Amino acid sequence: MGSEADRQAEPSAGASTLVDGHWSDRIPADDRGLTYADGIFRTLTVAADKPIAWRAQYWQLAVDCSALGLQVPAEEDLRADLVKLFADSTGGVARITVTRSGGGRGYAPPADAGIRRIVTASPWPGHAADNQPLDLSISDIALGIQPALAGIKHLGRLEQVIARAACQRAGVADLAMCDAEGWLVCTTMRNLLFVDADGGVTTPALTRAGVAGATRARLLAELGDSVAETDIRPGDLDGFVGAIATNSVTGVRPVTRIGVKHFSQSQAFAERAAVMLARSADA
């Protein structure tokens, strides 16, 4: 039957997950990512076995790990995982999850806690190639305010889970989301950027809630000093003529409406942003 090492060296039928570099779809029941959402994750696209915009993705993952006091997985280990997962495919979507291992009862992590590295491969989702503009109502679900976690893609994403379920019930692609104080933050799964009539770009500040996406970070790097990160309420949107929504799987989508505000120049803004992203796709 072979040794345990032999069995871990080859994937089982349909396997698409590596846990600490080994083919597996199981984690211990006391994993702190499961028991306390004590961990982070990032989602990225892969062409063949090459991750797109890897430098930005790894940097954001490292920021997230550091914010929770998690050891940052070695870059070479993650790259090896991606090569193993996508070696025989034309590409798809990878999710990298880092949890705190070591178990233990109670919120305080064990002093000797390590990390668990979980990397999963999925095929391209059907909506990834959908470039249709987004028409966004504002979700009834508000994002909780927690500055210590703002921007971090931690595992406690129940607000987005509930909001995505509302999208499914309503038959809509996405919804805009505000925080508990009414500041516009993001959509259920995307960051937002706005452009004014003079070409100036503004994006919601992520100081109280929200996730700092890698695609958003790439655009901010390209825009440099011409972009402003600031608090925005839905009523402030009259000052903008275009809007886009971004994430690492679907890229850039033009937004035609948020709430009662309609945008007339979102398609041109989306095309401009796509050119910027193309410049950093191989980095």
Name the token pair of 234: 């839905």
Q: Where are the domains of the chain?
A: 4-124, 129-279
Between residues 36 and 9, which one has the greater pLDDT? Answer: 36
Q: Looking at domain 4-124, does it have CATH number 3.30.470.10? A: yes
The pLDDT of residue 9 is above 70: no
The answer to whether 4-124 and 129-279 have equal CATH topology is no
Which pLDDT score is estimated for 15? 55
DSSP symbols for 228-248? EEE---GGGGGG-SEEEEEET
β-bridge partners, 281: none
Q: Which CATH architecture has domain 129-279?
A: Alpha-Beta Barrel (3.20)
Pick the closest to residue 187 from 173, 205, 201, 202 (CA basis): 173
pLDDT one-digit tens code per residue, 135-176: 999 999 999 999 999 999 999 999 999 999 999 999 999 999
Average pLDDT value over all residues in the chain: 92
The pLDDT of residue 65 is above 90: yes
- Find tokens 């305010």 and name the residue: 145
Round to whole Å and give the CA distance between 102 and 111: 9
The pLDDT of residue 3 is above 90: no
* Dihedral pair phi/psi, residue 28, rounded to 5°: -60, 150
Which pLDDT score is estimated for 105? 80
pLDDT one-digit tens code per residue, 15-61: 599 999 999 999 999 999 999 999 999 999 999 779 999 999 999 99
